[in-house]
Structure 1
């Protein structure tokens, strides 16, 4: 009993009389609201929703370099921070734009095939379950206005792509690629069956995207979030302020 009592007295000495602990406690009580506000922000960003910066052009014209997007972190998984433990909440559908971790790099791509689907490329056309996705040539103001940062040297052809579930989205194909690049570009492939709990993801900038064609499928556990909105593009805000463009993409749903 005396040993236990001694340990309790030692703890009291640390947590009650220790000046460092008392100073910390005083600081917490003085800034209690701020502390809980910061904790709430941390929890929300970790588990519920956050923003994501688009650093590359692989998802043009839907997500452009410099876009700040709002994401839903509870769309598919909830992960325990600093571990590989996750709980599945839902499954991505064809057409969803997701963020995921691949080789310790955060990426954003569009799901075009899910587990059990057969995927193939023939003459740079996408086939899912032996059916070619429909392409309809269209005009796109971002293509026409040459708004793709750092890709002014390319010409682009804009299309509406419609998958086998009649979901339609914009894609582009770049022209003027070098012979060396064309040799590496995957335009034809054998049929491939996507494994269970894995997803085939492509960039909407089809000829200029490093995606599942080169990196392999995305596992459910590696999915971070679903992209819901484009809040704004910080390059475009600058250009708008100085009159180089007439309109902004603000809180555009995806």
Structure 2
């Protein structure tokens, strides 16, 4: 989605609030006095009536979406099998601190991501080289390094923290020199009538239970998919991703390891791009059994 719904909500809140506020300050008393003098009913202009009615509604929605929980819809299969296309999820907006609506600048720090967290973030853009420097571009091919980065919300899993050494050798993920263990569950089973599932079935996808250390003495057990017949993703480190994750950044990858455009292509995820932590599937029209599932 290339438009910022939070910015739209913020704009509507400001417009409705200004119209209603100016009317109360400069025009409401005059209308009321005139109506009392003629013993008529006080009638507000349509735009004022709409602003008065909608301002509190839009304000509450803006506050809830910005500081409590925001709904998102999963648009692609990059997080399968953990998240399926069509999952409607809720994102905890205060898990990593409170940010200003639309501008996304943090004004209150409440925590930082951990390894294994499923995070929603503003797409930072692809890393392209220009005059010996890396710049962010909306063009994956980097033919146009100055292509604007679309305003999109993406979702991936945090694999590397600032200062971590992250390597990917084939299917083997290593964090700080230690191989991340994963157990084979079996072949991927999905509905061949659905495009995303059909691709995974055709590519011989297998499902694994990965045990990712969270950096705090625990382990995040989550599902990943491997597709040996699909195009091989870039290894780690590579030209865009150094061995050590830079400060103020995170390394993020999709659980569908072969079919995910993630940090392996566009580098680290800047901290200021974080939107929140995904925690719940609240709706799925294709599979009602997924409703209410906690996201791990």
Same fold by TM-score greater than 0.5: yes
Distance 1:125 1:168 in 2: 16
Contact 2:114 2:158 in 1 (8 A): yes
More helix by share: 1
Distance 1:51 1:96 in 2: 17
Paired position in structure 1 for 2:67? 47
Paired position in structure 2 for 1:163? 212
Paired position in structure 1 for 2:279? 228
More strand by share: 1
Establish whether residue 17 from structure 1 lines up as the match of residue 30 from structure 2: yes
Paired position in structure 2 for 1:97? 118
Contact 2:250 2:268 in 1 (8 A): yes
Establish whether residue 144 from structure 1 lines up as the match of residue 150 from structure 2: no
Contact 1:77 1:221 in 2 (8 A): no
Paired position in structure 1 for 2:237? 189
Structure with larger RCO (C-alpha < 8 A, sep 6+): 1
**Residue in structure 2 matching 1:57, options 71, 77, 86:** 77
Alpha carbons of structure 1 residues 61 and 13: separation in structure 2 relative to 1, 3 Å: closer
Structure 2 runs not aligned, ≥5 long: 1-23, 33-42, 126-150
Contact 1:137 1:160 in 2 (8 A): yes
Deviation at 1:90, TM superposition (A): 1.1
Contact 2:104 2:273 in 1 (8 A): no
Distance 1:101 1:217 in 2: 12
Deviation at 1:84, TM superposition (A): 5.0
Contact 2:91 2:279 in 1 (8 A): yes
Deviation at 1:124, TM superposition (A): 3.0
Paired position in structure 2 for 1:154? 203
Paired position in structure 2 for 1:129? 176
Structure 1 runs not aligned, ≥5 long: 1-10, 238-247
Contact 1:57 1:148 in 2 (8 A): no
Q: Secondary structure at the match of 2:286?
A: helix
Distance 1:63 1:148 in 2: 18
Once the two structures are superposed, what CA deviation does each residue of 1:92-143 show, in whole Å capped at 9, x if it has no partner?
Answer: 0011000001133210000111111111111231110001100110147xx2
RMSD of aligned C-alpha atoms?
A: 2.9
Distance 2:257 2:47 in 1: 56
Distance 1:101 1:91 in 2: 16
Alpha carbons of structure 1 residues 25 and 84: separation in structure 2 relative to 1, 3 Å: closer
Structure 2-normalised TM-score?
A: 0.68
Structure 1-normalised TM-score?
A: 0.78
Aligned length, in residue pairs: 225
